[in-house]
A and B are shown apart, each in its own frame.
Chain A
Amino acid sequence: MIKQSIAEAVLNEALKTGGDYSELFMQDSEFNTIQTVNGHVEQASYQRKAGAGVRVLKGTRCAYAYTADTSDEAIMETARAAAAAIDGVAEFETKSFEYRKGGAPYERRFGTVTNDERVALLREGSEAAKAYSDEITQVVGRYLDADHRIMVCNSNGIWAEDRRPRTRIFIQSVAMKDGVAQTGAASPGRGMGFEFYRGVDMKELGRKASKQAVTMLHAPECPAGAVPVVIESGFGGVILHEACVHGLEATSVGRGNSVFCGKLGQRIASPIVNAVDDGTLPGEWGSIAYDDEGTPSQRNLLIENGILKTYLVDLLGSRRMDGHPLTGSSRREDYTYAPTSRMTNTFFADGKDDPEEMIRTMGEGLFAAKMGGGSVNPLTGEFNFAVSEGYWVRDGKIISPVRGATLIGMGADVLMKIDRIGSGIVLEPGMCGSLSGSVPTNVGQPRIRVSEMTVGGKGGKL
């Protein structure tokens, strides 16, 4: 993307005003998207996004400048714009580069895939979704592929290149009756080429989305109150993502804005809890070979038997946190953002508990079979997430589907209340929004139980 000699000159230019670290990030990405309504193509589009960002650090001060113009002169000008924020004289020079090159599995390149092939997947999923029931009034399909080529080099002498293919398909079914509408969705995604779809049963996906919509259409409103909650494997791991790991990111910890500050080596969860953030899993949605500062991705054991072992830390975060080791967690949506500490593939590790027993012995409560997204305020630990498919349990037996439930609580509190963890981790993709934009992350877990959580909803009676 850029000559080595030019990159070196850019990094030195950025250091001219006294910065102690400079970094050049370049990106060239291509995207293809298709949207269908009831299996018919509504919209197809192609996008190419390319640009460069220069970051300069001096201690914990950070200056960032970017441009969509990737000519050598424009990048040099961008380096000067970033350096303008620092007011001193040059003290450092760029070290000679050590090369690192990584990439995800990418057998079937998106450039070789035709729109017809993409559409065929959506059509197959949509037709199965529509055929599931007469109550399905609408099926929306979305397909996305992205081929990100990135390069990052810095004045510490690191030159890393990564290629990150990603693709995801999304089927949403709408069930409607008597002025009431409910939705169901299925949306697998991976960090690999088009070969991913060889292993995807589109018919099954469509049926899954419709089953959820129809089940929820006939479900009574969820009762409200504080009860035990069993959360199914898969996207249920969003509880770990929101209730805990956002609070372990250097973005909040480095500024003292997290309930988990100063808790390394201390108990923050019940002793059965082990939690991991692992960016090295081949072909997964949240995986990266190198992070956006050029640090190799790694497996981070966050919580071991309930004890906090590490935070997720980028370079700037490390400087704010007494030199906490880097964890390969520095990420950004694209060149328009400076990078910061983010998650990759985050999950509760397997436990030993029996998944059936968890429900049998829970008394009255909620079984959250499928979760939607959520959010958290790391300063206070207050989190929330939506239950997209829930079932009410009484006397240890599922008695009815329920709709409209939301789970809320305090992060520090809920981790202590996990009293069962099963086995069989399932990872599911999502998009996580934070300071450095929206990045692909997996959440996951085996089935778990929380002894008590506040369930919000319209307060149905069963």
Chain B
Amino acid sequence: MLSFEEYKALAFEAATKKGCSAAEVYFTDGEQFSANVLGGQLDEYSVEHSFGLNLRVQFDGKDGYAYTEVLDDPEALVERAVDNARSSESPDVHPMQGKCEYEKVAPPETKVIKMSPAEKIAYAAELEKQFLASDPRAKRAQYSAIQTAKNTVRLHNTLGLEADTTRESAFAILGTILEQDGVLRDAFVVKEGDELLDKDAMIKEGIEKTVEQFGASPVPSGEYRVMIRNEAMASMLAAFSSMFSADSAQKGLSLLAGMEGKAIAAECVTLMDDPFYAENPRAFDAEGVPSVTKKVIENGVLTTLLHNLKTAAKAGVASTSNAGRSASGPVGVSPSNFFIKKGEASYEEMIKKLENGLIITDVSGLHAGLNPVSGDFSLIAKGLLVKDGEIVRSVDQITVAGNFITMMKAVTAVGADLKFGMPMGARVGSPSVIVEKLMVSGS
């Protein structure tokens, strides 16, 4: 086995010899620890070490990729990548980022990373114990887990680019199950960094999210004034985020193609893509372009789609620093920290504003009941019925349906309770929003 440096040098040499005009390696190296305590004992425990090298070559003006987790034969990998470049018929030029200077960014420090494995296990055990003691209805936990990770990315190419970054992170997950009158309901709470040290807050949130589901029944089918609560809205925005990708637009897979400068949402909606967002800052994107903060929607008007170097070259604009890629995949487009800018009304004030209608607290099945090409969605949902500004009961076994663009135009208020969804790759967040009407199907 070769080291990264040895492999890289041999791969670049082989690529040049083969006639490639440029070559790039995207090397990921990650270590992860996780522990889950259930029933007072260590239930799951894992220690992980992963790495892989993604090679991209430019041959005859085309890109070709090949990925390996076995660093043994650089020439064979170059051969594969060149073969793939030869197969490509894309007329688009995909420029490669050259040598570059970056702003220094520092993610928030967290004590959790310095905890020993034994301390992490003790944390998870304590979290479960405190949860079970906190409410007589607490039946059991489905998760009481902590996870820490250290991930390094090294992006180097023959144009002199050497962009390295290491990111440490820590998360805790509490999965609650509560029982009331023989009915079981569950919820999940995920916290990152030092926030997870406040166990009481995590448990309180988990219990609130579970208890509000008891006594639920459907509402009659019809059109309702709806408040989509922060987490539900964040997961919908994440699922529709590919509509904002210039790559999707250029491939004819987004209704937002050519809509720059036009109103696509209500005036109260401003949508940010901010790579420097303090909770999760990054200096450059997945192809080494320096980060840029932008308003994707400003007061309802679409100002830009999200670009990488390829889509930007095709559109004749500058990259918006939104190149994204998995460890093993090709360069695509991805948001960074992508969120609807918060307004001023608290959650409680938003309920008063809603006056009469439904709060949608949770939506599921987004991979199936939602189509980012058409913008249509029809999703199973849970919620709360609101009358005269007060929550009167819980609602389940309903679907909410609509079209994303139509919905964004029908937003009448944006709350102050900005919250980010599950941290998977890009981070997508939203405050609660009130939508004038959505179709609800129930009893």
Contacts and interface: CB of A to CB of B under 8 A. Distances in A.
Given A181-B373, A404-B376, A46 B41 contact: no
Contact of A43 (B223, B330, B397): B330
A41 B89 contact: yes
Contacts of A140: 251, 253
A380 B43 contact: no
B90 A40 contact: yes
A48 B373 CA distance: 31
Interface string B310-332: 00000000000000000011100
Contacts of B375: 181
A211 B320 CA distance: 37
Contacts of B69: 48-51, 68
A204 interface: no
Interface stretch (B60-68, B280-288, B411-419): B60-68
Contacts, number: 239
A412 to B, nearest CB: 13
B84 A45 contact: yes
Given A45-B330, A224-B439, A406-B379, A68 B51 contact: yes
A43 B66 contact: no
B255 interface: yes
Interface in B212-266: 218, 221-223, 251-253, 255
A78 B32 CA distance: 13
Interface stretch (A282-290, A370-378, A417-425): A370-378
B127 to A, nearest CB: 17
Interface string A335-349: 010100000000000
Interface stretch (B6-14, B189-197, B290-298, B363-371): B363-371
A258 to B, nearest CB: 10
Contacts of A386: 365, 368-369, 378
A404 B401 CA distance: 8
Given A51-B50, A116-B87, A373 B367 contact: yes
Interface in A400-459: 403-406, 408-410, 454-459
A382 B397 contact: yes
Interface residues of B, number: 76
Contacts of A181: 255, 373-375
A37 interface: yes
B365 A374 contact: yes
Identify the interface centre among A183, A257, A404: most chain B CB within 10 Å of its CB.
Answer: A404
B50 A61 contact: no
Given A183-B373, A379-B184, A406-B365, A456 B88 contact: no
Contacts of A338: 44, 46
Contacts of B117: 84
B49 A458 contact: no
B45 interface: yes
A405 B380 CA distance: 11
A115 interface: yes
A69 B1 contact: yes
B365 A454 contact: no
A66 B443 CA distance: 49
Contacts of A61: 41-43, 45
Given A81-B47, A119-B87, A181-B373, A384 B252 contact: no
Interface string A106-124: 0000000001100100000
B184 A456 contact: no
Contact of A375 (B42, B85, B368, B401): B368
A459 B439 contact: yes
A82 interface: yes
Interface residues of A, number: 79
Contacts of A405: 378
Identify the interface centre among B87, B328, B403: most chain A CB within 10 Å of its CB.
Answer: B87
A338 B43 CA distance: 13
A336 B90 CA distance: 34
A183 B374 contact: yes
B21 to A, nearest CB: 18
B137 interface: no
A96 interface: no
Interface in A260-298: none
A179 interface: yes
Contact of B397 (A81, A115, A408): A408
B272 interface: no
B48 A66 contact: yes
A140 B242 CA distance: 15
A377 B439 contact: no
A201 interface: no
B112 interface: no
A15 B70 CA distance: 28
A409 B374 CA distance: 25
A64 interface: yes
A50 B44 CA distance: 23
Nearest to A36: B89
Contacts of A403: 376
Contact of B68 (A47, A67, A137): A47
A42 interface: yes
10 contacts: A43-B88, A48-B69, A61-B43, A140-B253, A181-B374, A336-B48, A379-B184, A384-B368, A406-B378, A406-B379
Given A49-B52, A183-B374, 17 more contacts: A34-B87, A41-B87, A42-B90, A45-B329, A48-B68, A74-B49, A115-B83, A181-B373, A224-B441, A225-B221, A372-B369, A382-B380, A384-B365, A384-B379, A458-B401, A459-B222, A459-B441
